[in-house]
């Protein structure tokens, strides 16, 4: 057990690292962070920031020498770097978890081998492979095996004649082709697991993407209890099978026929559980600290339903900051900014959160606040509520 007063190392210094650092500091831990950007979001709330690439093993060793445990906020960390840090401090999650998850092809193969529900896919390593997958699948997503998130490094097409363009757009690197599914919705499950084996699962979140980036999320997911129970079972089984120490987010597709399909895994805090800061007894960020330090895990019960809307760099047009006072005119709404320098379209700069008597009330409040500040989202999908639930 790593008691408060010890030091936590963080590989990655983005907003997830920042919010985890804030939770850790409130519990009495010191925080050191490694990130290529010396002015990363987490640097301002950390005791020490090491500016280094995510494949710099020497820098990871230097970070870990001064830490009692090392975790991460981005999965694109070379496993050799995690091994290097592990010579000086416990690394949670370990390289075996990150190695499976950071490569989409390997992740799909691991899920398939272990009997978890996934969609039809095919690893591709050439333009001809891409063309063959599109001919077989029809409507197809082609995603780079490594790197890319929030809609980056993926292309959707249904024409085999596009294979050359798709292959070049993805840098002519190994990729995964996935047959597009008819979706009714998307949800996610967050599981925390400590080295002592204790496990806690957050209530599921219902998510909505626009431009292939998360636009809003609400918890607890207003879905049928049996469906949520199935999603929770899948998440727990994955956490146990992969021998997790830390957090794992399991992104799931809900198909129009009511099936649950695992989309992707993330061994870290997740955008879709930012609402846990408002909704739950214990936030995902505090829970990560508890898990990696082998402390008793916190209660994840819902105190009050909550929802978030993401704020993107598009709002900072012409160098001017948005007028957030109009969003905060609803006293249930809070503003969470990440301290990033340099707004640009599509970049996550912060989020709004709101609470409500029900999940749909919280979602309505935060979407209205987002609209007032210029972060308008698409109309609610017709499928919302199609599978029951009214939380």
Task: State in Å, rounded, how far the first CA of the chain is from the last one.
Answer: 37
Per-residue pLDDT, 196:
96
255: three-class secondary structure by DSSP: strand
Closest by CA position to 309, among listed 339, 338, 281, 272:
272
pLDDT of residue 387: 57
* 246, 267 Cβ separation under 8 angstroms: yes
CA dist., res. 333 & res. 315, Å (int): 18
For 184-221, the three-class secondary structure string (H helix, E strand, C coil) is EEEEEEEEEECCCCCEEECCCEEEEEECCEEEEEEECC
Contacts of 113 (CB under 8 A, 6+ apart): none
pTM for the full predicted model: 0.94
* Cis amide bond preceding 3, omega within 30: no
What is the pLDDT at residue 379? 84
pLDDT at 380: 82
The predicted pLDDT at position 319 comes to: 77
Question: How would you label 50-68 residue by residue, b for 16+ Cβ within 10 Å and e otherwise?
Answer: bbbebebbebbbbbbeebb
Nearest CA-CA partner of 315 in 381, 369, 379:
369
Residues of the chain with pLDDT under 70: 148-152, 382-391
DSSP 355: E
């Amino acid at each position: 057990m790593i008691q408060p007063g010890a030091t936590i190392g963080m590989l990655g210094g983005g907003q997830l690292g920042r919010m985890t650092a804030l939770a850790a500091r409130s519990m009495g831990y010191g925080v050191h962070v490694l990130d290529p950007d010396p002015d990363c979001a987490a640097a301002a709330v950390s005791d020490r920031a090491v500016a280094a690439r995510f494949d710099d093993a020497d820098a990871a060793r230097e970070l870990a020498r001064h830490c009692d445990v090392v975790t991460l906020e981005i999965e694109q960390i070379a496993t050799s770097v995690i091994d290097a840090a592990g010579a000086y401090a416990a690394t949670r999650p370990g390289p075996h978890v990150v190695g499976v998850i950071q490569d989409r092809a390997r992740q799909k193969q691991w899920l398939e081998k272990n009997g978890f529900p996934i969609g039809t896919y095919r690893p591709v390593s050439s333009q001809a492979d891409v063309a063959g997958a599109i001919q077989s699948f029809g409507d197809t997503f082609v995603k780079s095996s490594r790197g890319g998130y929030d809609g980056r490094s993926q292309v959707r097409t249904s024409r085999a004649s596009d294979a050359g363009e798709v292959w070049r757009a993805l840098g002519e690197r190994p990729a995964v082709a996935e047959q597009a599914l008819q979706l009714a919705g998307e949800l996610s499950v967050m599981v925390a697991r400590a080295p002592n084996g204790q496990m806690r699962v957050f209530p599921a979140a219902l998510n909505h993407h626009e431009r292939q980036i998360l636009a809003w999320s609400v918890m607890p997911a207003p879905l049928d209890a049996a469906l949520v129970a199935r999603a929770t079972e899948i998440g727990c089984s994955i956490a146990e099978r992969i021998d997790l120490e830390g957090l794992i987010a399991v992104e799931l597709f809900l198909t129009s026929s009511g099936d649950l399909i695992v989309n992707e895994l993330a061994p870290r805090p997740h955008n879709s559980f930012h609402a846990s800061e408002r909704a739950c007894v214990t936030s995902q960020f505090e829970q990560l600290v508890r898990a990696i330090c082998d402390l008793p895990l916190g209660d994840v019960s819902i105190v009050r339903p909550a929802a978030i809307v993401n704020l993107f760099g598009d709002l900072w047009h012409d160098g001017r900051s948005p007028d957030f006072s109009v969003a905060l005119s609803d006293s249930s709404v809070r503003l969470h900014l990440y301290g990033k320098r340099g707004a640009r379209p599509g970049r996550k700069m912060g989020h709004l959160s709101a609470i409500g008597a029900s999940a749909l009330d919280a979602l309505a409040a935060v979407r209205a606040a987002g609209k007032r500040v210029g972060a308008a989202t698409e109309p609610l999908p017709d499928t919302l509520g199609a599978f029951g639930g009214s939380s």
